[in-house]
Amino acid sequence: MQVQDELKIKLEVFEGPLDLLLYLIKKDELDIYDIPIERITNQYMEYLGLMRMLDLDIAGDFLVMAATLLMIKSRMLLPPEERPALEPEEEDPRWDLIRKLVEYKKFKDAAGTLQEMEAIQGNSFLRQSEEPAIPQSPEIELDEVTIFDLISVFNDALKKVQPEVIGEIIAEGITVADKIEMLLAVIKEKTSIPFVKLFDQAATRHEIICTFLAVLELVRLHQINARQDKTFGEIMVLRAGE
């Protein structure tokens, strides 16, 4: 189900298939060296299906990874004696995937460390004749929310809605543009609100999808921010600048 709306949502892909796999591994606290292929493949395909439903631009790398996971999954489901033999120079695709994930994670962690060092350096000051005043309640830095964090909450909201709801035909008249106006009014009044609460009044899948796309568009336009106080913590939607 795709939302055909007068407002077409276009987002830059700032995370790729390896980011999604690492997110799923971390979310379920899995061992990166012992990934349950069937489970991780099913979850990956579920997220890919949600991205397609939302009509988001999906890079070809996501589809290549999907094909790789499905190939590994089909191979693992076969009895050992029926699995195709690998050529002498051919590497087990599971270990090839694990090696790529481990290497990517190393670079990703290193980049994160450099960003933290940059932030610390940016908040450092040379000693002056007078000590700078230290605020009594220092601002807490919040972890940035990824697109996969948002999709996870969106998926949970979809699962709570019945496939067929009375009045769905009326609700289909809601557009992304309508939801953008509603969200701007809400955030203007409350300054911040839990992301999951934005779906409380949505009666249908269509309305939930429109709400989610409205949030993505407002984030892209820098009208709102999405933050969380810890990894996989509650996501808060805040008015830009708060």
Of 78-92, 115-129, 171-185, the range with the lowest mean pLDDT is 115-129
> CB burial class (10 A; 0-12, 13-18, 19+) of residue 36?
middle
Question: What span, in angstroms and rounded, lies between the C-alpha atoms of 69 and 42?
Answer: 9
**Mean pLDDT of all residues belonging to the chain:** 79
Question: What span, in angstroms and rounded, lies between the C-alpha atoms of 87 and 92?
Answer: 10
What is residue 126's predicted lDDT score, i.e. its pLDDT?
53
What is residue 58's predicted lDDT score, i.e. its pLDDT?
74
pLDDT above 70 coverage of the chain, percent: 71
Of 8-12, 153-157, 204-208, the range with the lowest mean pLDDT is 8-12
What is residue 114's predicted lDDT score, i.e. its pLDDT?
76
What is residue 111's predicted lDDT score, i.e. its pLDDT?
76
Mean pLDDT within 126-146:
49
Q: Does residue 238 register a pLDDT over 70?
A: yes
Q: Does residue 131 register a pLDDT over 60?
A: no
Q: Does residue 87 register a pLDDT over 80?
A: no
In sequence order, which residues have a C-beta less than 8 Å from that of residue 20 and are 6 or more positions away? 44, 47, 62, 65, 148
What is residue 163's predicted lDDT score, i.e. its pLDDT?
64
Q: Does residue 142 register a pLDDT over 60?
A: no
- In 3D space, the residue among 10, 2, 14 whose CA is nearest the CA of residue 57 turns out to be 10
Does pTM top 0.85 for this prediction? no
Q: Does residue 52 register a pLDDT over 50?
A: yes
Q: Does residue 211 register a pLDDT over 90?
A: yes
Residue-wise pLDDT tens digits, 192-206: 899 999 998 888 888
- In 3D space, the residue among 15, 130, 127 whose CA is nearest the CA of residue 62 turns out to be 15
